[in-house]
């Protein structure tokens, strides 16, 4: 497809946020939408490299409310969008080994209950009973929510892209945005590797690159790319089919079933910000030692794949939604490592922002860009 000369709305980035935004705008009847993706395929950024976890368990009300809207959208995805996304309720189990975390998670569970999310509190002995394959002597307690789940990130992106295309969205790959023209404080043109396009509305859904895109329009969007990596193993016959998504919270170490094997990852707290997406072999060794200490059968596991991706981290670990100081320039980015699960609802919210001037489905007014300058940060403690 050649780049059109004009559009009513241009969206930058073909990850879950851009794809969902394009679909939700088109679904509401919006015409002349163009989505630009710099890579040869959609979903090659953070979305295609993520762990696919989707959960209700968060430490702030707004994140829980986003999950309450977004997770049922994954459940209905195949019916509504026509694409299978392997939605699988496996439950999330947060393992707690530090008193401080235990106290904070107790408060989280109370808040989640207030919002109707029935997270269960498990004492250490019950956790050890449920996970006999794991070494959990130091675990004080855990939180468990049976409806937390997994879904397929690539299926989700391509479902939205294909449905969007059927409704008239023009999607272009290998179309890198290289510049943004602002005229008298308003968006006017977008320069790309395929030429330039005039538009009054531009949506920045460039994930870890959203800060770079903001800079092109002279807008400071405080999003830092931080590398995270994981690996998958060959089949492990001892892992039961109902093995949950287990998170050792203090170590940011996690495991879930992937096919007949396991996926495991661990966040490096010392990782320097940057766009490097190569595997760090030293950290992989540290990760594997920690993973084997928790789950000794991993010692004999074969490696199937390993890769790195980028978290898109904001100063308060919450996303940025809505308008910017440049008229017509919107942002939906900065999900700080848990955005895949909020992709469906976020596209819906962006359609509301653009077409109605404000988000209605969930009140995300506190997650505006201005909060950083005005010192209204919203802390999320429950980041893995
Ligand atoms: C290792 C890892 C594990 C994760 N695990 C989970 C998890 O279990 N659950 C969860 O909910 N979230 C998880 N996340 C976070 C999740 O992946 C992200 O929050 C989410 O995918 C962000 O989506 P996005 O569309 O904003 O960004 P992206 O998917 O990165 O999409 C942005 C797109 O913009 C494109 N782009 C950038 N610059 C330009 C340009 N100049 N021109 C055109 N296109 C451009 C990029 O190529 C990219 O495709 C994980 C992330 C990582 C890295």
- For tokens 């959208």, name the residue: 73
**Which residue among 156, 206, 258, 306 is best mutated to probe the pocket of ligand 1, counting the most ligand atoms within 8 A of its Cβ?**
206
Query: Residue 359 C-alpha to ligand 1 middle, in angstroms?
Result: 22
**What is the distance between the alpha carbons of residues 254 and 95, in angstroms, rounded to a whole number?**
10
Pairing of strands 245-248, 92-96: parallel
pLDDT exceeds cutoff 80 at 324: yes
CA angle 257, 120, 117 (to 5 degrees): 95
**Which residue among 11, 43, 46 is best mutated to probe the pocket of ligand 1, counting the most ligand atoms within 8 A of its Cβ?**
46
* pLDDT at residue 228, rounded to an integer: 98
Please name every residue paired with 306 in a beta bridge, in sequence order, or none if there are none. Answer: 231
pLDDT exceeds cutoff 90 at 381: no
Query: Residue 172 C-alpha to ligand 1 middle, in angstroms?
Result: 17
Please state the pTM of the whole predicted model: 0.97
**What is the distance between the alpha carbons of residues 65 and 11, in angstroms, rounded to a whole number?**
25
Q: Give every CB contact of residue 121 below 8 A, 6+ residues apart in sequence.
A: 106, 109, 141, 142, 143
* pLDDT at residue 379, rounded to an integer: 75
Q: What percent of the chain has pLDDT over 90?
A: 98
* pLDDT at residue 282, rounded to an integer: 98
**What is the distance between the alpha carbons of residues 336 and 143, in angstroms, rounded to a whole number?**
22
Pairing of strands 33-36, 141-145: unpaired
**What is the distance between the alpha carbons of residues 84 and 258, in angstroms, rounded to a whole number?**
17
Q: How far is CA 300 from the centre of its chain?
A: 31
Q: Average pLDDT over the chain, rounded to whole?
A: 97
Query: Residue 208 C-alpha to ligand 1 middle, in angstroms?
Result: 6
pLDDT digits (tens, 9 = 90+) for 225-235: 999 999 999 99
- For tokens 């490696």, name the residue: 303
H or E segment and range at residue 26: helix 16-27
**DSSP label of 344:** H
Rounded to an integer, the average pLDDT of 134-160 is 98
pLDDT digits (tens, 9 = 90+) for 3-30: 999 999 999 999 999 999 999 999 999 9
**Which residue among 152, 337, 350, 383 is best mutated to probe the pocket of ligand 1, counting the most ligand atoms within 8 A of its Cβ?**
337
- For tokens 């459940």, name the residue: 75
* pLDDT at residue 191, rounded to an integer: 98
Output the DSSP codes for 240-307.
-TT--EEEEGGGTEEEEEETTEEEEEE--TTPPPS---S--HHHHHHHHHHHHHH-GGGGGPPEEEEE
Query: Residue 15 C-alpha to ligand 1 middle, in angstroms?
Result: 6
**Reduced to 3 states, what is the DSSP secondary structure of residue 226?**
strand
223 Cβ inside 6 Å of ligand 1:
no
pLDDT digits (tens, 9 = 90+) for 236-264: 999 999 999 999 999 999 999 999 999 99
pLDDT digits (tens, 9 = 90+) for 71-126: 999 999 999 999 999 999 999 999 999 999 999 999 999 999 999 999 999 999 99
Residue 1's pLDDT band, with cuts at 50, 70 and 90, is confident
Please name every residue paired with 182 in a beta bridge, in sequence order, or none if there are none. Answer: 187
Rounded to an integer, the average pLDDT of 34-41 is 98
pLDDT exceeds cutoff 80 at 208: yes
CB 319 within 8 A of CB 366: no
**Reduced to 3 states, what is the DSSP secondary structure of residue 1?**
coil
């Amino acid at each position: 497809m050649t780049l059109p000369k004009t559009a009513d709305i241009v969206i930058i980035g073909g990850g879950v946020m851009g794809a969902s935004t394009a679909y939700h705008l088109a679904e509401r009847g919006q015409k002349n939408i163009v989505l630009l993706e710099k890579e040869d395929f959609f979903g090659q950024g953070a979305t295609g490299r993520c762990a696919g976890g989707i959960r209700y368990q968060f430490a702030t009300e707004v994140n829980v409310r986003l999950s309450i809207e977004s997770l049922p959208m994954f459940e209905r995805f195949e019916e509504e969008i026509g694409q299978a996304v392997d939605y699988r309720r496996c439950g999330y189990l947060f393992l707690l080994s530090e008193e401080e975390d235990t106290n904070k998670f107790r408060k989280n569970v109370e808040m989640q209950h207030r919002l109707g999310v029935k997270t269960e509190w498990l004492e250490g002995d019950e956790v050890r009973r449920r996970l006999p394959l794991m070494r959990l002597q130091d675990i004080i307690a855990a939180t468990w929510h049976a409806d937390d789940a997994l879904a397929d990130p690539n299926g989700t992106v391509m479902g939205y892209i294909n449905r969007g295309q059927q409704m008239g969205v023009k999607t272009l790959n290998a179309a890198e945005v290289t510049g943004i023209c602002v005229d008298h404080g308003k968006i006017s043109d977008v320069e790309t590797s395929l030429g330039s396009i005039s538009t009054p509305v531009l949506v920045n859904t460039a994930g870890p690159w959203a800060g770079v895109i903001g800079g092109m329009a002279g807008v400071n969007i405080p999003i830092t790319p931080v590398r995270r990596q994981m690996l998958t193993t060959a089949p492990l016959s001892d892992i039961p089919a109902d093995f949950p998504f287990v998170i050792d919270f203090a170590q940011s170490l996690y495991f879930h079933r992937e096919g007949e094997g396991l996926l495991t990852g661990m966040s490096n707290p010392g990782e320097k910000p940057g766009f490097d997406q190569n595997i760090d072999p030293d950290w992989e060794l540290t990760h594997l030692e920690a993973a084997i200490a928790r789950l000794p059968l991993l010692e004999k596991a074969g490696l199937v794949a390993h890769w790195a991706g980028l978290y898109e981290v904001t100063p308060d670990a919450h996303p940025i939604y809505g308008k910017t100081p440049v008229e017509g320039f919107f942002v939906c980015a900065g999900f700080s490592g848990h955005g895949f699960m909020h992709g469906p609802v976020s596209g819906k919210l962006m359609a509301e922002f653009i077409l109605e001037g404000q988000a209605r489905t969930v009140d995300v007014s506190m997650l505006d860009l201005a909060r950083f300058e005005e010192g209204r940060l919203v802390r999320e403690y429950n980041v893995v």
